[in-house]
Structure 1
Amino acid sequence: MDGIKRREAAIRSVTKSLPGGQVTYVDIKKFYDSISPEVATQSWQRFCDRNIIATPVPELGLKIIQNHAQETAGKSILTGPMFSHFVANLVLHDIDKIAEDLPSYYVRYVDDITLIGSEESNDASLTAIRSLLGKIDLALHDDKEKTFSLNCAEWESAASHIVANKHEGSWKKLVGNIKKCMIFFPDQVEALTHKLSEAGYRLPLSDYSLAVTETNSFQKIRSIGLWQWLLFRTESNVVQLILDSASVLADDYETDVFEILAEINQASTFLRKRLVSQIRYRLGRLMYLSSLSVLERLRVASIGVPELMFHTSIIEALVTRDCSKVVSLGVKVAQATAQLFRAAGMLAEFSEPVSTEAQIQGLATFIANGVQIGEAIFDAQHPILKIAIDGVDKDMLSREDSFIHELACLHGIGAPRHAATLNSAFDLADKISLDALDFDDGYYL
């Protein structure tokens, strides 16, 4: 999120001085899938040589790249691992340096490139960038969804068209206060859990009791911050404070989303992208705070906005309890949904057979979260489901499937303990994980 904000600030610093200029957005096509192991290796070695990185770090990086190559049949690095993000930035580092001499102002965030200048200078810069990328077998998208231009005045207008976030810091404050309550008022955790559930909130509460018993008072105060601790201790009714702030946030976010949805279909392409980001930011939080009836109204109002498909699919699962669709959308969506079901104590049902590999992984995610499964048709002997349901035995450790073997080794022989692990905080520094907010990545607040 900080990177997005820095990019916005960099673009704005130029557009203000170029009212007659143009902003061009371009995107590298299939970025991670197009970075060959050879290109990744060369970039990694140049980085290590340039910075005099000592053994064994260079060798370790090369080994990781080789492992990626094995998993992708020698085509590319893997998408997802943190090392892939690092290497991908190294791959583009040389282009970033050359870009300093382009006729247009150049800004890059991951695989998104923004050019600010005259139409002619942007066209010339695009030609140069395409040539540079082509030398390492990368290419820019050509479709209008990924590559488009607008004048600087329009960009300024759209950038300033942000629904006021009346309580920008209040979401963090709410989650922070919940954590402080569990650390400093363990005798009120049961009441807090009950009240949050009674109010219809689906906030997952980690068990900090082990971390609290192993930490002295001074360490607790130091981990939270002295002044925050003193202010929080003066509150006479901590539970009511949390409930009140959650209610205010829900009301504000709900109002915002309905207002944005009313105007989104009349917005320009660029403004629409920004409005969609603002809706996603709020919907991610409303999944934890809004009643099912309000969530259903929000889902219906969002039907004409395909960019909200992940959010509306999760909401539909919450309202109907039918999780057949969400387990088909990948483990990230499945985890976000499962966490909400676990927090609400809801039964997950499946109207369609769970048969594809993606669906099976999604179902295993629900089971690993400790969500109770109702009507469902699936193969309980599938290795991933067996680990989720029964845990790991010796046979699992000798599986030829590398994924199953690694998963079994990480778990260890024994009964499943996924849900207990997910529910526990082993250190005061552990954050309260809110998985539905993962969809906020890269969005404009």
Structure 2
Amino acid sequence: MQRAQTIAVRAVNQYRKRDILPYIGLRYYLENSSARRDRWAHDVAIYLTLNRAAPIYFEANHFKDVLANGQVNHRKMHLPGPNEALAEAALIDICSKHPSQFNSLDCVFSYRLARDNQRDGIFEPYFKGFKERHIAVSSACKENNEAIVRYLDIKRFYPNISTKIAENAWSSACDNSKLPEIYRELGYKLLHDHAVVSMQSDGNKSVLTGPAFSHLIANLILHEVDVKMADAMPKRYFRYVDDVIVIGTNQEVERYRSLLLDCLGELGLELHDGEKDFMVSSSDWLEGEFDFSEQKEFPSWMTLVGNLKRYLVVNGDVSWQVRQVLLDNDFRLPIPEYSADIQESSYLSRLLRYSKSEWMKYQIRNIDINSILHEAILLRNKFEVKLVENIDGILNLSGYKRKRMIPKLRYVAGRMLFLANTDQLSRFAPELKSISETRLLGEVFEAVSTRDASRLVEFGINAVQSAAQVLRLSSQSVHCDPKSLGSTELQGLSILKLNGISVEDQGLHTDINSDLLNFATKPGVNKQLMKSNDAFISEIASLHGVSEESRHSQILDSAFDPDEQMAFDAINQLKPSSY
């Protein structure tokens, strides 16, 4: 099999973090060895996207929040078909070759374009930018120790970006960079299709929430705003997607808020009401200066995952042994099978290069199944203590102290889904559900500990996939009997079945005509699904092909490439990120 080149691996890594459906589609698409080449992405994928008859997006419901009456709100995500996902990855790759026109300012920390040698996504990792913004704000607070730190939020950012504004920003960037015509046309084509779909979905022509191209467009649109704000308050203006931080005196931050409001107004955008702003003194803010600093300690989540991947890649096909040992000890770490030719892996090449040092040779030599299990047990015990401390601590906190605690709580809780035993999950579930910011994690904990997804399917695809990733590691069935079966619940039920989970659903889907559910449940994809009215289902069904059995579980059990990142859905898909 042809080793995947950079663009294919980037696309796989990017969408695996966001949603399971485009990932599954990409995996079937990339079974064609020619499609793994960068040239295919630049030539064939782009040609097919430019010449398609209609847009191909799947409208998925992702969790947004829970109202006081218990009603779940969702965010509509429009997920591109696999061919477009590859084409937009090629487009953004070309844009990255023109940094002066397509890169954001230093004060913008979200969706920075991947560098030439990066394969872990189309953009730099989420947490890298988040952490760098934290460091930059720390420096500004030290230089302005009597200042106010004010958090602002752009209202309904992506849905409020009009197609006309997006096209103007794209045209300007293309003109200044002299981007080749085919890539310019692809950008216009994607924006046109976004407008068609958003008009059908929400009644207005706007940028879609979901595609990677939307992130690039959003940064281009706000570029002039960022320039004005950074000029007005050097090193005191910081943006991460739609979250803005400004630093200054009371009068200054009020003035700069008004300036930002005016700049956004010219683009048809607005801030949330001032009452929703959050303010804290710079001295109080600095109490959390080291909240996201990396501490070299053992055990840690990074060392566990790093050692696990090193062991799997270096030792070949041992995934099933590691998976079974961890399951026997009530861990739920998803262990992929690395069946690709690892001797050609850039990951392995880097590993061997680093292993020239005696320390690294010693480290690799001393990783085995027992050491991984020992590290996992130590980390479970350590995180249990931290989770108790964080839950107990947050109950008595308010204001900035509480705001600081929330990311720490989410960090530990997200990882405990994979580390905690069943009793621990059951014990922590109600406590996490009682805290609004971790309500979703609490629901996932409960669904996993009880193996009952009846309530969880109401929360959206990303919530269900986060539970399904660990539920599927056991052959035991999962109960699912929701109060109603609307589009969100039906999507959730489909995701459970797509993961190969045996679902006790009391025949819920017997009389339901759902192409997504049929794709997830049929023993083998059939020709009828290839003709589905849902263009997304039609495309991925055609890529799957006719067979006696579906191959979804096989795909989810295996790694696409040794450079594919290990996926932990409860961490990636449930984080409170802007889209």
| TM-score of the pair, normalised by structure 2 | 0.71
The residue that corresponds to 1:39 in the other structure is 165
Q: Deviations over 1:286-332 (max 9, x none)?
A: 11111111122222333431110110000010122110122111111
- Where does 1:309-324 land on structure 2 (aligned, <5 Å)? 309-324=439-454
Residue 95 (structure 1) aligns with: 225
Is residue 285 of structure 1 aligned with residue 411 of structure 2? no
Q: Which residue is 1:423 aligned to?
A: 557
Cα displacement (A) at 1:183: 3.0
Contact 1:264 1:272 in 2 (8 A): yes
- The question of whether the paired residues in 2 share the 8 Å contact of 1:162 and 1:275 is answered with no
Partner SS, residue 100 of structure 1: helix
User: Is residue 183 of structure 2 the alignment partner of residue 28 of structure 1?
Assistant: no
Aligned to 1:356: 486
**Per-residue displacement from partner, 1:162-205 (whole Å, max 9, x unpaired)?**
79967488322212222233333347544422211111001111
SS at match of 1:343: coil
* Residue aligned with 2:231, SS: coil
Residue equivalent to 1:392: 525
Conservation of the 8 A alpha-carbon contact between 1:317 and 1:323: yes
Alignment deviations for residues 251-302 of structure 1 (CA, whole Å, 9 cap, x no partner): 1111111111112132232221221111111111111111111122222333
Aligned residue in 2 for 1:154: 284
Q: Distance in 2 between matches of 1:227 and 1:46?
A: 43
Q: Answer whether contact 1:361 1:384 (CA < 8 A) is retained.
A: yes
- Corresponding residue for 2:133? 7
- Please say which of residues 112-121 and 426-435 is displaced more in the overlay: 426-435
Match runs of 1:105-120 below 5 Å: 105-120=236-251
Name the stretch that deviates more: 238-247 or 406-415: 406-415
* Aligned CA distance change for structure 1 residues 346 and 165 (closer, same or farther; 3 Å): farther
SS in structure 2 at match of 1:24: strand
* Deviations 1:191-239, CA, capped at 9 Å, x for gaps: 422211111001111112x32xx3448978415334447334532x711
Contact kept, 8 Å, 2:431 with 2:442, in 1: the verdict is no
The runs of 5 or more residues in structure 1 that have no matched partner are none
CA distance in structure 1 between the partners assigned to 2:300 and 2:423 by the alignment: 24
- The answer to whether the aligner puts 1:72 opposite 2:198 as a matched pair is yes
Q: Name the counterpart of 1:383.
A: 515
Counterpart contact for 1:353–1:378, Cα < 8 Å: no
The answer (yes or no) to whether the contact 1:4–1:109 under 8 Å persists in 2 is yes
Give the aligned residue type for 1:276: I
Letter of the 2:179 counterpart:
I
Q: After superposition, where does 1:201-220 map in structure 2 within 5 Å?
A: 201-208=331-338, 210-211=339-340, 214-216=341-343
Match of 2:269 in 1: 138
CA deviation string 1:322-356 (max 9, x = no partner): 10122111111111111110123332111325621
RMSD: 2.4
Partner of 1:70, secondary structure, is helix
Q: CA deviation at 1:101?
A: 3.1
Identity among equivalent positions (%) equals 30
Q: Report the more deviating stretch, 183-192 or 388-397.
A: 183-192
Task: Give the 3-state SS of the residue equivalent to 1:5 in structure 2.
Answer: helix
The 8 Å contact of residues 194 and 206 in structure 2, kept in 1 or not, is answered as yes
Alignment coverage as a number of residue pairs? 438
Q: Which moved more, 1:180-189 or 1:341-350?
A: 180-189
Range with greater deviation from structure 2 (427-436 or 158-167)? 158-167
Q: Which of 383, 390, 409 is the equivalent residue of 1:260?
A: 390
Post-superposition shift, 1:152?
Answer: 1.1
Q: Residues 220 and 72 from structure 1, CA distance in 2 versus in 1: closer, same or farther, beyond 3 angstroms?
A: closer
Residue 121 of structure 1 pairs with residue 252 of structure 2:
yes
CA separation in 2, counterparts of 1:356 and 1:68? 25
CA distance in 2, matches of 1:98, 1:113: 14
- Deviation, 1:441, is 4.2
Structure 2 contact 462–573 (Cα < 8 Å) conserved: no
Indicate whether 1:222 and 2:354 are aligned: no
Q: Unaligned regions of 5+ residues in structure 2, if any?
A: 1-126
The 1:279/1:85 distance shift into structure 2, 3 A limit, reads same
Q: What is the aligned partner in structure 2 of residue 184 from structure 1?
A: 314
- Structure 1 residues 164 and 256, CA gap change in structure 2 (3 angstroms): farther
One-letter amino acid of the structure 2 residue matched with residue 2 of structure 1: K
Partner of 2:115: none
Q: Which amino acid aligns with 1:385?
A: L
Paired residue secondary structure (1:97): helix
Matches within 5 A, 1:224-243: 224-228=351-355, 230-235=361-366, 238-243=368-373
Contact 1:354 1:363 in 2 (8 A): no
Check whether the contact 1:130–1:139 (CA below 8 A) recurs between aligned residues: yes
Structure 2: distance between partners of 1:273 and 1:75: 35
Paired residue secondary structure (2:472): helix
Alpha-carbon distance in 2 for matches of 1:103, 1:425: 46
TM-score (norm 1): 0.91
Do the aligned partners of 1:353 and 1:376 also contact (CA within 8 Å) in 2?
Answer: no
